[in-house]
Structure 1
Amino acid sequence: MKTVEVTASAVVVHGPDDVRIEDVPVREPGANEAIIDVAYGGVCGSDIHYWKHGAVGESILRAPMVLGHEVVGVVSQAAADGSGPAAGTAVAVHPARRDHSDTRFPADRPNLSPGISYLGSAARFPHTEGAFATRIVLPAAMLRALPDGLALKTAALAEPASVAWHAVSRAGDLSGKRVLVVGSGPIGALIIAIAKRAGAASIVAVDMHDTPLDIAREVGAPVTETLRASEADAIAAVDADVVFESSGNHRGLSSAIRGATRGGIVVMVGLLPTGDQPVPVSLAITRELQLVGSFRFNDEIDDVLAALADGSLDLSPIVTHVFPAKHALEALAVASDASSSGKVLLDFRQEDSDD
């Protein structure tokens, strides 16, 4: 009797300007792996870079790859060894797989291990396939059961919110602090929401466009003020205790350094291009600023899910568009236009709909 191959509809990048909706095989799960029916996926900047440029920094696409790492869904088949959530459980996905590495890194900060692989990444070859598919197979250890009552659409922001939560934690206690956020796209907006929850006394958001500043005001209300990125003197006058740089370019980092108070902290969240960057480091020295890196996250996703469930973290203003997954190319185009969008979601449950 012939075995019928199980397939899933997936968003596959083949190269620059070449994203296709294709059927891909769903492999047999191992004993410690579960099958998940994906509900929502969030479009990340890395997905956009693979689509536009065929690369993210030094991670260069060498073969077709399923995109996506920000996903939530429902377990359709639990891991055979009994680990992880049971079938029928709504879950968020932690997209990092902790592999062995001989490189030194702090034991309590596995996000710094070069041995970690990330869903939807071309950093290695063969590439690590992503999760933008109607059905995926993942180790049960990568799954987080959603708290009772937490909607899948709300939980779809758990992964990027964990990046923001990690960044805020890198700054220490924000209670009563004056905060500046340079770059108010989805990650910047998430930082604003989490900084507000953490007790920041005031938050100033900076961006080039109206839409992200409107979102910043909504998600940070009532404490958020906004400035245009071109208002250099006004940014420098903020005199912030803590600055989060989330624009991912050297001009944003320059503004962040100038906007920090003497003895302040600058948390660098946006991933700048490889190589030297022209920024005013002399100011960081003479003002004794702490320049702090922030990269991905560890287990902050558990805190994020709890905060979303208890209502202490409201991220609803950040989602501006939801597209059926079969319209992924349109979704990528909209998400790449920072002047008109916040977080863009793909809905993998609408495959049979033409709406």
Structure 2
Amino acid sequence: MSTQVQASVLHGAKDLRTETRPLSAPESDELQIRIASTGLCGSDLHYYTHHRNGDILVREPLSLGHESAGVVAAVGSNVSGFKAGDKVALEVGLPCGSCARCNEGRYNICKELKFRSSGKSFPHFQGTLQERINHPAKWCYKLPDEVGLDVGALLEPLGVALHAFRRSLMPKNATVVVYGAGAVGLLCAAVAKVKGAGKVIIADIDQGRLDFAVQNGFAHASYLVPMKRGKDMDENLAIAKETAAAIGKVENVGEVDVVFECTGVPSCVQAGIFSTKPGGRIMLVGMGHPIQTIPLGAAALREVDIVGVFRYANTYAESIEIVQASLKNPDSPAFSKLVTHRFKGLDEAVKAFEMAGKTKDADGNLVLKVVIDSLGDASSPKL
């Protein structure tokens, strides 16, 4: 039997409406999940602000949200291993399961993949800013008792960081620089640190974010990138070299083994190439400018690998292990502190999106990850 649920629906730029939708009973292979915590991502913010994300247009009313966790409300007839009341994190990209990339385990780049809250597939795959959704049990992950639903929602961007780490082939005791101290940059720094990097330096233009990173165990040290721009490309490349050299003096790391570039800003991509030692890797994690001007010769002549990163694949189980282990180690990154602002209920979605577009709130507090909490206190491990 179907029921009626509330959903936050985008109809145009900054036009969010709370509406009622029908929801059927879960199919035999699905769980019906009461969505508890949804983190707002940069792509969600682009859709909200511009009604598009790059060249991907929204072509019909769309519920946003894909960083989510919730509580099982009903279980499909063929599903085992779950019961009503279980806390779960959701992996919201559904691949075809039969193409060459899927067969290799690289389903994140499956051409037929449908991703909740994205306008790429049509009809759009509706996002998680709804009271309840039905979702295949195969792509749901049970959360341990000690892991709250807010942290469960963070497993999605943590998966991006873990996937980037895997593709980086980072050696033990490596030196690492992370450009960008937003949520994904902080998580890339955290994963590198817990995976055995000797030094993790994080660089950003915001001192508050850098202080947060070091004080909460996400990085060993930081560098404040000056707001400096050249009048032409030659001058910009000279500034990029200066930035890389200055970062190299932090903790005397010099050129580093791996750079995680999490901004997509051309000046940071350029500086990242100059930061990387011969034979090292720069990971392009940030989805910024689609066309980049980079010192390709400086990379090629030193055999610096430039490696793309797109979402994640097969990360949730290990991400859960990472956050579990962090709860037992006071020196580990404080993942739960990434959630800086919480809004209760779908009717607060507009306020939540407006906050997510800021770096500081009205009281001067740092804005990192904004979540919409649909069930109460999703930060509680027991919820």
Fold match (TM-score > 0.5): yes
Q: Answer with 177-186 or 218-227: which moved more.
A: 218-227
Q: Deviation of residue 296 (structure 1)? A: 0.7
Q: Deviation of residue 66 (structure 1)? A: 0.7
Aligned to 1:323: 343
Aligned to 1:345: 371
When normalised by structure 1's length, the TM-score is 0.91
After superposition, what is the alpha-carbon deviation per residue over 1:166-209, rounded to whole angstroms, capped at 9, x for unaligned? 11111113421111001110000111111110111111111122
Q: Deviation of residue 222 (structure 1)? A: 6.6
Counterpart among 51, 55, 65 of residue 52 in structure 2: 55
Aligned to 2:40: 43
Equivalences for residues 154-193 of structure 1 within 5 A:
154-193=151-190
Aligned to 1:262: 278
Percent identity over the alignment is 33
Aligned to 1:206: 203
Equivalences for residues 50-199 of structure 1 within 5 A:
50-83=47-80, 85-99=82-96, 107-199=104-196
Q: Deviation of residue 97 (structure 1)? A: 0.6
Q: Deviation of residue 334 (structure 1)? A: 1.4
When normalised by structure 2's length, the TM-score is 0.85
Q: Is the 8 A contact 1:84 1:143 kept in 2?
A: no
Q: Is the 8 A contact 1:101 1:115 kept in 2?
A: no
Counterpart among 234, 241, 256 of residue 240 in structure 1: 256
Distance, in Å, in 1 between the alignment partners of 2:112 and 2:372 is 29
Counterpart among 225, 229, 236 of residue 228 in structure 1: 225
The AA in structure 1 aligned to 2:166 is: S
Distance, in Å, in 2 between the alignment partners of 1:229 and 1:210 is 11
After superposition, what is the alpha-carbon deviation per residue over 1:47-79, rounded to whole angstroms, capped at 9, x for unaligned? 101001111122210111111111101101012
Counterpart among 311, 315, 330 of residue 300 in structure 1: 315
Distance, in Å, in 2 between the alignment partners of 1:249 and 1:286 is 23
Gaps in structure 2 of 5+ consecutive residues:
229-239, 249-254, 361-365, 378-383
Gaps in structure 1 of 5+ consecutive residues:
none
Q: Deviation of residue 125 (structure 1)? A: 1.3
The AA in structure 2 aligned to 1:211 is: G
- Indicate how the Cα distance of structure 1 residues 222 and 279 shifts in structure 2: closer, same or farther if over 3 A, else same: closer
Task: State the Cα RMSD in Å.
Answer: 2.1
Distance, in Å, in 1 between the alignment partners of 2:24 and 2:62 is 15
After superposition, what is the alpha-carbon deviation per residue over 1:241-291, rounded to whole angstroms, capped at 9, x for unaligned? 1100000222221121121122211011011333x3112112111221011
Distance, in Å, in 1 between the alignment partners of 2:293 and 2:21 is 44
- Indicate how the Cα distance of structure 1 residues 271 and 106 shifts in structure 2: closer, same or farther if over 3 A, else same: farther
The AA in structure 2 aligned to 1:334 is: M
Distance, in Å, in 2 between the alignment partners of 1:324 and 1:211 is 26
Q: Deviation of residue 102 (structure 1)? A: 5.2
The AA in structure 1 aligned to 2:185 is: G
- Indicate how the Cα distance of structure 1 residues 110 and 6 shifts in structure 2: closer, same or farther if over 3 A, else same: same
Distance, in Å, in 2 between the alignment partners of 1:170 and 1:318 is 24
Moved over 6 A (4+): none
Q: Is the 8 A contact 2:284 2:306 kept in 1?
A: yes
Distance, in Å, in 1 between the alignment partners of 2:280 and 2:210 is 24
- Indicate how the Cα distance of structure 1 residues 212 and 111 shifts in structure 2: closer, same or farther if over 3 A, else same: same
Q: Is the 8 A contact 2:45 2:353 kept in 1?
A: yes
Q: Is the 8 A contact 2:30 2:79 kept in 1?
A: no
